[in-house]
Amino acid sequence: MSITSDILRGHTEAIILSHLLEQDSYGYQINKDIMKKTDNRCELKEATLYSAFRRLEQAGYICTYWGDETVGARRRYYSITDAGREAYQAYKRDWEEAKFTIDQLLK
């Protein structure tokens, strides 16, 4: 059983930011890590992931740089900014409150 798009929606950016709190990473790796962390219950589709990266960069929550791979495909790394860290905390508060509120309604 996997999480539906409509429930996932609104959490994508927070999930990415959370991941970048631990360490800089790149698209393909983030994708794999999220699946692994959740035993494949949650998969951010590539198109979803990349559109979220664009929004996060636009908002100044992440910045990017190319890795210096000498072998293999090039990697675009993402790094969380201070504004991103603040945004993450806000997202997290929203989530805690939303959980409470939705629980109130689904009795």
Partner DNA sequence: AAAATATACCTTGACAGACGAGGTATATTG
Partner DNA sequence: CAATATACCTCGTCTGTCAAGGTATATTTT
List residues binding DNA (CB under 7 A). Answer: 5-6, 8-12, 26-29, 44-48, 50-55, 71-76
Judge whether 2 and 41 are in contact, CB under 8 Å.
yes
Beta-bridged to residue 65, according to DSSP, are 77
Closest CA to 28 of 81, 80, 75: 75
Out of a second copy, DNA, none, which partner does residue 18 contact, by CB within 5 to 8 A per kind? a second copy
Q: What is d(CA 67, CA 64) in angstroms, rounded to the nearest whole number? A: 10
CB of residue 66 vs a second copy: minimum separation in angstroms? 26
Where along the sequence are the contacts to a second copy (CB under 8 A)? 1, 3-11, 14-15, 18-19, 21, 34, 37-38, 41-42, 91-92, 94-95, 97-99, 101-102, 104-107
